[in-house]
Amino acid sequence: MTEADLPAVLVLERELFPEDAWSEEMLAGELADQPRTRHYVIAESGDGEIVGYAGLFAAGGQADVQTIGVSAAWRGAGIGAALLERLLDEAGRRHSEAVFLEVRADNPPAIRLYERYGFVRAGLRKRYYQPSGVDAVVMRRELRTGPSRVTFGFTGEKR
Ligand SMILES: CC(C)(COP(=O)(O)OP(=O)(O)OC[C@H]1O[C@@H](n2cnc3c(N)ncnc32)[C@H](O)[C@@H]1OP(=O)(O)O)[C@@H](O)C(=O)NCCC(=O)NCCS
């Protein structure tokens, strides 16, 4: 995603997150930190319409899914999964050890998508979303499943 995509993304943002849509300034601020700590992607239909987008924060070995959304008319076709895969790939390239996200407890389609990609529930933030008072489910997905270092047997010459 680049600044040129912002007008279309903002229209979607307001549709998808009517209660707490990010402002143009917030989204522009996210893009301004690409590629340093952010990675934002868009999904385009065949005729160039932006139908989905997603963003990752990654720094210091930890990554967060900042946002992910697909236009209502295009859901259920695997676009959300494709966007999430891009973010997970990027987190891997940046050597993140784990990816976190927060999702509204009343959003089963999103929770199912995350579970399908190996995210597990790591906590609950009570009444996190305001003014609705809906809880946030914190989810976590490990990226390094094996040992992160190769350790050699050390026979240990005693001094
Ligand atoms: C959550 C969200 C991003 C998912 O996007 P999506 O493009 O519909 O996601 P997918 O198509 O990959 O997966 C959704 C469902 O479609 C099904 N599906 C996937 N590929 C499919 C295909 N080719 N054909 C038909 N169905 C398919 C999946 O099995 C999944 O079903 P499930 O929910 O029963 O598990 C979307 O619902 C959304 O934008 N919601 C509003 C914003 C939001 O809540 N974002 C998350 C904030 S944390």
149, pLDDT greater than 90: no
Q: Which of 70, 99, 135, 137 to mutate to test the pocket of ligand 1 (most atoms within 8 A of CB)?
A: 70
Range 55-67 average pLDDT: 97
- Domain total for the chain? 1
8, pLDDT greater than 80: yes
Q: Look at residue 155 and tell me if it is in a domain.
A: no
Q: Look at residue 106 and tell me if it is in a domain.
A: yes
CA dist list (Å): 147 to 18, 62, 96, 132, 150: 43, 17, 14, 42, 7
Q: Look at residue 151 and tell me if it is in a domain.
A: no
pLDDT band at residue 151 using 50, 70 and 90 as cut-offs:
low
Cα(53) to ligand 1 centroid in Å equals 13
Q: Which of 113, 116, 138, 141 to mutate to test the pocket of ligand 1 (most atoms within 8 A of CB)?
A: 113
Q: Look at residue 148 and tell me if it is in a domain.
A: no
Each residue's pLDDT tens digit, 67-87: 999 999 999 999 999 999 999
Q: Look at residue 157 and tell me if it is in a domain.
A: no
What's the CATH number where 16 sits? 3.40.630.30
| Residue 137 CB–ligand 1 contact under 6 Å | no
Each residue's pLDDT tens digit, 15-43: 999 988 999 999 999 999 999 999 999 99
Range 8-19 average pLDDT: 95
3-class secondary structure, 124: strand
Q: Which domain holds residue 16?
A: 3-142
The predicted pLDDT at position 159 comes to: 56
Cα(155) to ligand 1 centroid in Å equals 53
Q: How far is CA 152 from the centre of its chain?
A: 36
Q: Look at residue 153 and tell me if it is in a domain.
A: no
- 136 bridge partner residues: 104, 125
Q: Look at residue 10 and tell me if it is in a domain.
A: yes
Q: Look at residue 63 and tell me if it is in a domain.
A: yes
The residue count of the chain comes to 159
55, pLDDT greater than 70: yes
CB 98 within 8 A of CB 143: yes
Range 100-116 average pLDDT: 97
Cα(140) to ligand 1 centroid in Å equals 19
CB 61 within 8 A of CB 95: yes
